[in-house]
Amino acid sequence: MSRRGHWVLTAVLLSTLVPLGFWTAARADSPKTLVIAVSGWPASLDPQIVQSAESGYVESTMFDRIINYKPGSAVLTPGLATSWTISPDGKVYTFKLRQGVSFHDGTPMNAQTVAEDLDRAINPANPCYVLARKVYTMDDITFGSAADGTVGKLEVIDDYTLRYTLPQPRAPFLQDLATVWQGIMSPAASKSSNCEAGQHPAGTGPFKLVETVRDDHVTVAANPSYWGAKPKLDRIIFQTIPDSATRLLKLERNEVQILSEVPGSDFARIQSNPNLKIYKIPGLSILGIAMSFDWGPFADKRVRQAMNYAVDKEAINKGLYSGAPTASQGIPAPDSGYDTSIKPYAYDPAKAKALLKDAGFPNGLPGEFEVLAYSRTSRVNPVGGAKLGEAAQSYLAEVGVKVKVMSYDWGEYLNRLGHTAWQGFAVCQWAGDTADADNFLSNLFEFNETTNKPNLFNCARYHNREFDKLVAQARETADEKKREELYKAANRILHDDAPWIFINNVDHVRAARSSVKDFRLHPLQMFFNMELVSLQ
């Protein structure tokens, strides 16, 4: 899941509501209205609060970051900062900001207003301090946390110069600044909404919020004052359509022009239609079934390895995920640090039973275990968490492990996953916020020794000090070759410890009408650079 992705426990209600009839008329009357079908509701439009992929989809059209990406690439390029320098010790970052830019609400963008927005990410005394709230956020990953002494120092040098000093070098820092979850919000928007900035979001991006109708759609309109390329579309509508069959039907009827998610079962039908097009690139994602690393039989590595041998991941991937590559480690193949010598656990129920016997369970595990799952589909798991749990269920039964799949709506699933001592199994996923291996390994598997807690997205509650040491060393190392070797070593440990049943790394797939021009998939799966897209 990307904190991105991907996650937050509070459903922030957007208040700029207008009648549905307005949206219907706008779609019908404007030839420059693009409709994107998404599977879930973007409950928050505050980038510092990470609700779901759908929130990120909308935010990626509304917000610039200090550093942006080149179109269709994870290569960094100037955003609100036109240039930056890094001190020789890798701790001090100085940013020169773009002049003549305003937020959507008219607030000037300058060093002071950017600093005011970032202050709620780093300052516990700020009444809008994000880390003091019961939310998922990337702020502590990017800027550090006062709770564990890792927060840096932010300084306004002059009207258009910002400086951030890290207590320790952090190689992924620039990549983290470019993630959609670090979009810069007008400080006036935060203050006007009693810290709920997502109620009246105002960025500097190519599109700005027009309306929201809860559980139906969000509309953004072209920002005529955008500092970059002027949008070719008048507006974009993100329409919530949970059912994949309905989404495809609407695409065929030209009621929507882009599908954000496409299950493999729809590929052939789309490819046979000359008016439709499939877009596909290798995915920066991982999907698996975590085990409660700190509880019961799953505290034994032999049991966790047995679960990996018990499940036929190749069959599941062929049957449910259109042959998606089976995962073997904590990062996908496009990331630097991926170790090609690490092979996925083979399907070998006899070996699974032998490992269970060696661990003291000759007749399988006693009792019944829950598989914590979610009912919705997602870009990382286009068939949904419940179906994956059910697919694994029969394989686990064959080796004497009885499970029941417990499916919840997204908010309740996140609450149980992140804030309860769940026991047994949990479907877990992550879509890369950046193209850096740290984004996966740190978020999903690192344990914080200072707070004596797993990182917020470490859903298995995995804890291995040698693994943590390697990830920390890689994070503080500027030499990319050395970083790669450190990550490979960490992945070897992770594979052996098997905190997850590693399922797959799905491709990033979208579908669109052929009338959509200059649309590019972004490796991080957001809708960046939509100002370049047009309708024929």
Q: What is the pLDDT of residues 135-183, one digit of tens each?
A: 888 898 899 888 888 899 999 999 999 999 999 999 999 999 999 999 9
pLDDT value of position 218: 97
What residue ranges define each of the domains in the chain, with the CATH number in brackets? 3-239+510-535 (3.40.190.10), 285-504 (3.10.105.10)
* Pairing between β-strand 76-78 and β-strand 67-69 as defined by DSSP bridges: antiparallel
Mean pLDDT on 415-444: 92
Q: What's the whole-model pTM score? A: 0.84
385 has a pLDDT exceeding 90:
yes
Mean pLDDT (the chain) is 91
CA-nearest of 97, 104, 29, 102 to 59 is 104
Exposure of 38 by Cβ count < 10 A (0-12 exposed, 13-18 middle, 19+ buried)? buried
User: What is the rounded CA–CA span in Å between residue 532 and residue 37?
Assistant: 19
| Percent share of the chain, pLDDT over 90 | 78
pLDDT value of position 31: 65
pLDDT band of residue 263 (cuts 50, 70, 90) is confident
Tell me which residue has tokens 């439009």.
Answer: 45
Name the token pair of 388.
């994956």
Helix axes 301-310, 385-398, angle to 10 degrees: 100
User: What is the rounded CA–CA span in Å between residue 319 and residue 133?
Assistant: 41
Residue 71 near residue 24, CB atoms below 8 Å: no
User: What is the rounded CA–CA span in Å between residue 101 and residue 258?
Assistant: 30
5 has a pLDDT exceeding 80:
no
CA-nearest of 56, 516, 4, 1 to 287 is 1
17 has a pLDDT exceeding 50:
no
More confident residue, 400 or 196: 400
More confident residue, 391 or 25: 391
- H or E element that contains 496: helix 480-497
Mean pLDDT on 374-391: 91
14 has a pLDDT exceeding 50:
no
438 has a pLDDT exceeding 80:
yes
pLDDT band of residue 15 (cuts 50, 70, 90) is very low
Name the token pair of 511.
């579908």
